[in-house]
Structure 1
Amino acid sequence: MGRKSLIMLGLLAAGLGGAYFIQQERSRPQPQQTSVSRELLLPDLQGKLAAVTALDVRRPEQPDLRLERRGDVWVLPAKADYPAAGQSVASLLRALSEARKVEAKTANPALHGRVGLADKGNPDEQGTRITLLRGSDAPLELLVGRSAQQGSGQLVRLYGDNQVWLIDQLLPMPATELNWQDRRIVEVPFTSIRQVEVAYPNGTRLTVYRDSAEEPNLKPRQMPKGRRLAHEAAANGMATLFSALEFADNAPLAQVKFKGKPLLEFSLSTFGGGELRGQVYGQGEQPWLVLKDKRKLGDEQVPGKLDWAYRLEPFQYQALAKKLEDVLAAK
């Protein structure tokens, strides 16, 4: 047998052996992959959110913020127990209870500032300190730092522990005391509003209305003969304002000393028989709204309080403070 034939036989044998090995490997049962269970960041919190009675938030260079549970409602004691934005509190507590450790990062205190988890020093390097009070149980405390540079998650460390952890949750927190509050004043759907009227101290008034909910636009009751609206929806803004009216600031009515007459008085009527009345005052060159009375409108439609004053943004006031000529086409 020649040399060439021997080489060919060798290659053939090697190929058959390789094929046999592959076939045997495929026929073997494959080992099951084991899932790695990530450790909860706050195991004492899971299933026990109802035990949290208060929440402290301390941000660098901002006043300390406390929220307290009063029955089913969270309030801000520093704002005369004004209701907090329940969804914001619930989202944070839920994220804390579900957060799991993904990866251990630095445990060197000298490096904490780089990830926004320093105890002190430059405000940009400090973490936001969260304290959960749980009645007679020990409080839970942690520092919240920067978001993960890649993927999702956030860097945190338990207060008093140098170990930094990447967790699998983003911890949503409003940036200011204002945004921790339930800022809603009025939430009456535009489709349910039948009429809005504004009256001014000089006796002039503007009433915009529609006869049925099927009509898409409101029209002035004081429409002069031969005139028309600037456009079909020109009067709608006076009503759409009340579909999602939020305050820019607030204060107990007893603490606010309004001088003189209001800039305007307003009333709102719905097709369901709901009525809302209020006034807007000028204070420090800013418009402040006061609710005077509501009928057949629940707290979900009018979350605002009758004993509080609410500062509006200028554009909100301008949407309401219309005069007849503002909604009519030019002559």
Structure 2
Amino acid sequence: MKRRAIIGLGVAAAAAVGGAILLTPDRAAPPPPSASALAFPGLAARLAEAATIEVKRHDGTLLVRRAAPDTWVLPAKAGYPVRPERVRELLVGLTELRLTEPRTANPEMLDRLGLDDPEKPGATSSLLRVLDAEGRPVMALVVGRRRVRVQGNVPESVYVRRPDETQAWLAEGRLPLDADPNLWIDRDLANIPRDRVRSATVDRVGEPPLVLRRGPELEAKLAVVQPAATPELDEISLDEVARAFEFLTFLDVRTAAEIPGERLGSARFELTDNLILRVILHKEGETLWGMLAAEGDEEAARLNARWQGWAYQLGQWKEKAFLPRLSDLRRQEAAPPAPETPGPETPAPEASAPEAPAPAPAPQ
């Protein structure tokens, strides 16, 4: 057999084997669970007494408190409810945390693992404590750097130590520990498509009422119907009113009784499916605060369960969506182009010197 034919058969065989490997399902058994000791044996039963989660860092302390059996709140955010899955994930992670490998016990080396004193300026460590209703610790742990692994099917790991010990451990498990309160709460308020907004009535302090409404046509857009006579309006600005409740989020939160600033006015939005939304806006300097309420059926009840009793700091750009003035909706005239001026790289041409008179002819 010729050498070229042998090489061709070899390539074909290799391709066939590769295809079989790709098409064969992966029946490899998953890695066995860790046999390492739990960091907190019996913690699951004791967590029934948990009343406070405390995350202490060098630059501040985060507190999450239990307000009801299934409700946890943030005192730093006026007692606003936290996302229950965040608390559940952290507490379950603590019950499943396992100490897999002892590391250094030298206190001078702890900073390399992010396990130095959490109150030390510039420290990257966190002191995590779960306390009962009397303030007694249910558990306590200094949490350091996470260990990044790129292999598949490998559990997460993190460096930890007990607060009264210098022995560091590599622990296996997930601890979603965040000291930023904004990461514990759901900042999404609503996401209602613009096509559902049928009309908006704006009552702004010191301004005449402004009413916008869609026409009966399927593709009709919001248009100003009061006042009847208006200047030429900007379609993008009108569309922003319709999009007022799309991807609506908040920056900060207070109780409704603590809403700061002066009242700007209110707006009433009529939507499809028997839903009415009301907005009251206040302004403190450049900061915009709003209170929301809904009227209607089950959808309104769900929204009110979230909104009632709270004042939200909104993005400044939402002022023109919720409480526009007629001047905010007016089409802006394009500025005339500025006259061109010679730049430094193109100097103005110099004035030409007058030509010299021609010489007189020589005498014959």
For residues 145-192 of structure 1, the C-alpha deviation after alignment (integer angstroms, 9 at most, x for no partner) is 122254443222233232322334442234423443443444545564
Query: Larger radius of gyration, structure 1 or 2?
Result: 2
SS at match of 1:94: helix
The structure-2 alpha-carbon separation of the partners of 1:191 and 1:171, relative to structure 1 and needing over 3 Å to count, comes to: farther
Structure 2 residue aligned with 1:110: 108
Q: Quick check: 2:147–2:159 contact (8 Å CA) kept in 1?
A: yes
Structure 2 residue aligned with 1:19: none
User: What is the CA–CA distance in structure 1 between the aligned matches of 2:43 and 2:246, rounded to whole Å?
Assistant: 37
Is 2:249 the counterpart of 1:246? yes
User: What is the CA–CA distance in structure 1 between the aligned matches of 2:191 and 2:320, rounded to whole Å?
Assistant: 18
For residues 54-85 of structure 1, the C-alpha deviation after alignment (integer angstroms, 9 at most, x for no partner) is 21221221144232241321123454432223
Structure 1 residue aligned with 2:340: none
Q: Quick check: 1:184–1:304 contact (8 Å CA) kept in 2?
A: no
Displacement of 1:140 in angstroms is 0.9
Structure 1 residue aligned with 2:88: 90
User: What is the CA–CA distance in structure 2 between the aligned matches of 1:269 and 1:146, rounded to whole Å?
Assistant: 51
Aligned 1:181-220 pairs, distance under 5 A: 181-188=185-192, 190=194, 192-210=196-214, 218-220=221-223
For residues 243-283 of structure 1, the C-alpha deviation after alignment (integer angstroms, 9 at most, x for no partner) is 43232222233334544xx3231122331212221211111
Q: Quick check: 2:52–2:63 contact (8 Å CA) kept in 1?
A: no
The structure-2 alpha-carbon separation of the partners of 1:226 and 1:257, relative to structure 1 and needing over 3 Å to count, comes to: closer
Query: TM-score, length-normalised on structure 1?
Result: 0.71
User: What is the CA–CA distance in structure 1 between the aligned matches of 2:148 and 2:180, rounded to whole Å?
Assistant: 24
The structure-2 alpha-carbon separation of the partners of 1:229 and 1:45, relative to structure 1 and needing over 3 Å to count, comes to: farther
Displacement of 1:294 in angstroms is 4.2
Is 2:167 the counterpart of 1:157? no
Displacement of 1:218 in angstroms is 3.9
Aligned 1:161-310 pairs, distance under 5 A: 161-188=165-192, 190=194, 192-210=196-214, 218-222=221-225, 230=234, 235-256=238-259, 258-259=261-262, 262-291=263-292, 294-296=295-297, 297-298=299-300, 300-302=302-304, 304-310=306-312
The one-letter amino acid paired with 2:264 is L
Displacement of 1:314 in angstroms is 1.5
Root-mean-square deviation (CA, aligned residues, Å) is 3.8
Structure 1 residue aligned with 2:316: 314
The one-letter amino acid paired with 1:177 is P
Query: TM-score, length-normalised on structure 2?
Result: 0.65
User: What is the CA–CA distance in structure 2 between the aligned matches of 1:86 and 1:213, rounded to whole Å?
Assistant: 44
SS at match of 1:96: helix
The one-letter amino acid paired with 2:249 is E
SS at match of 1:55: strand
The one-letter amino acid paired with 1:142 is L
Displacement of 1:124 in angstroms is 2.9
Gaps of 5+ in 1: 1-31
User: What is the CA–CA distance in structure 2 between the aligned matches of 1:324 and 1:33, rounded to whole Å?
Assistant: 65
For residues 4-31 of structure 1, the C-alpha deviation after alignment (integer angstroms, 9 at most, x for no partner) is xxxxxxxxxxxxxxxxxxxxxxxxxxxx
The structure-2 alpha-carbon separation of the partners of 1:110 and 1:292, relative to structure 1 and needing over 3 Å to count, comes to: same
Q: Quick check: 1:195–1:270 contact (8 Å CA) kept in 2?
A: yes
Structure 1 residue aligned with 2:22: none
SS at match of 1:309: strand
User: What is the CA–CA distance in structure 1 between the aligned matches of 2:325 and 2:44, rounded to whole Å?
Assistant: 56
SS at match of 1:161: coil
Aligned 1:137-156 pairs, distance under 5 A: 139-151=138-150, 152-156=156-160
SS at match of 2:37: coil
Q: Quick check: 1:274–1:295 contact (8 Å CA) kept in 2?
A: yes
SS at match of 1:235: helix
User: What is the CA–CA distance in structure 2 between the aligned matches of 1:221 and 1:314, rounded to whole Å?
Assistant: 23
Displacement of 1:287 in angstroms is 1.3
Gaps of 5+ in 2: 1-28, 151-155, 334-364
The structure-2 alpha-carbon separation of the partners of 1:213 and 1:264, relative to structure 1 and needing over 3 Å to count, comes to: farther
Displacement of 1:141 in angstroms is 0.9
Aligned 1:49-128 pairs, distance under 5 A: 50-120=48-118, 122-128=120-126
Q: Quick check: 1:68–1:77 contact (8 Å CA) kept in 2?
A: no
For residues 122-160 of structure 1, the C-alpha deviation after alignment (integer angstroms, 9 at most, x for no partner) is 433252111123568961111221222544432222332
My pick for the range that moved more, 53-62 or 222-231, is 222-231
SS at match of 2:116: coil
Identity of aligned pairs, percent? Answer: 26
Displacement of 1:289 in angstroms is 1.0
User: What is the CA–CA distance in structure 2 between the aligned matches of 1:283 and 1:73, rounded to whole Å?
Assistant: 31
The structure-2 alpha-carbon separation of the partners of 1:114 and 1:292, relative to structure 1 and needing over 3 Å to count, comes to: same
Q: Quick check: 1:196–1:267 contact (8 Å CA) kept in 2?
A: yes
